């Protein structure tokens, strides 16, 4: 029995071409770079106006039982408008949580992609490293992401992201970052 969210491709999707795999992988790497550089206004252009962006809480069960996600309120349950507000607050010099921006680095790996009727279902692993100006000890956060990227005009747009943390708590004074 698995204790992680399901990460293998479903039986309903189709394999993607090498060109699509590279295109979407590079898009995920570009997204990580934008977030690392705190370029939230450009990051928002990657999001669909009807995005569903969730980071549900998880509960650890006993050995050999699967982790449960989403039975309790979520860490994050965002729409485009709420993500835009958070991004504007992080870019605002008056923001108390990030008056001196944190050093943030994202590592995206284990990318699995399949074509579905709706677009591209993408599973990836992400590691966030954050160092705040007032605390030199690095903060680490790892998660499995389940995305749906759809064609929106001339580019792919993120329309759904589920973030499943590997740890039951976020040991950080703020959630002043995106996953």
CATH number of the domain within which 27 lies = 3.10.450.50
Report which of 59, 80, 86, 79 is spatially closest to residue 71, judged by C-alpha positions: 59
pLDDT at position 170 is 72
| 6 assigned to some structural domain | no
Which domain covers residue 134, as residue numbers?
Answer: 18-165
Query: Please, are residues 75 and 175 in contact by the beta-carbon 8 Å criterion?
Result: yes
3-state secondary structure of 40: helix
**pTM for this predicted structure:** 0.83
Q: How many domains does the chain have?
A: 1
Residue 36 inside a domain? The answer is yes
Structure-block tokens of residue 159: 């329309």
Average of per-residue pLDDT across 91-100? 64
> What's the average model confidence in pLDDT over 95-112?
83
Query: 174 lies in a domain?
Result: no
**Is residue 5 in a domain?**
no
Asked whether residue 127 is assigned to any structural domain, the reply reads yes
In a domain, 11, yes or no: no
Confidence of residue 106 (pLDDT cuts 50, 70, 90): very high
The two three-digit tokens of residue 132, written as one number? 């705040």
Does residue 74 belong to any structural domain of this protein? yes
- Residue 172, domain member (yes or no): no
**In a 3-state reduction of DSSP, which class is residue 73?**
coil
Higher pLDDT, 110 or 8: 110
CB-based contacts of 153, cutoff 8 Å, min separation 6: none
């Amino acid at each position: 029995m698995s204790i992680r969210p399901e990460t293998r491709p479903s039986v309903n999707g189709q394999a993607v071409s090498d060109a699509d795999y590279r295109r979407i992988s590079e898009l995920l790497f570009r997204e990580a770079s934008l977030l690392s550089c705190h370029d939230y206004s450009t990051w928002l252009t990657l999001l669909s106006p009807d995005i569903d962006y969730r980071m549900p809480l998880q509960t650890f069960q006993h050995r050999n039982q699967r982790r449960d996600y989403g039975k309790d309120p979520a860490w994050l349950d965002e729409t485009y408008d709420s993500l835009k507000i958070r991004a504007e607050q992080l870019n605002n010099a008056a923001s108390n949580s990030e008056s001196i921006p944190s050093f943030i680095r994202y590592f995206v790996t284990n990318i699995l992609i399949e074509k579905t009727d709706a677009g591209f279902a993408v599973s990836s692993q992400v590691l966030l490293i954050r160092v705040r100006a007032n605390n030199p000890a690095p903060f680490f956060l790892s998660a499995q992401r389940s995305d749906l990227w759809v064609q929106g005009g001339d580019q792919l747009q993120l329309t759904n992201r589920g973030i499943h943390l590997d740890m039951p708590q976020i040991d950080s004074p703020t959630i002043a970052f995106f996953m």
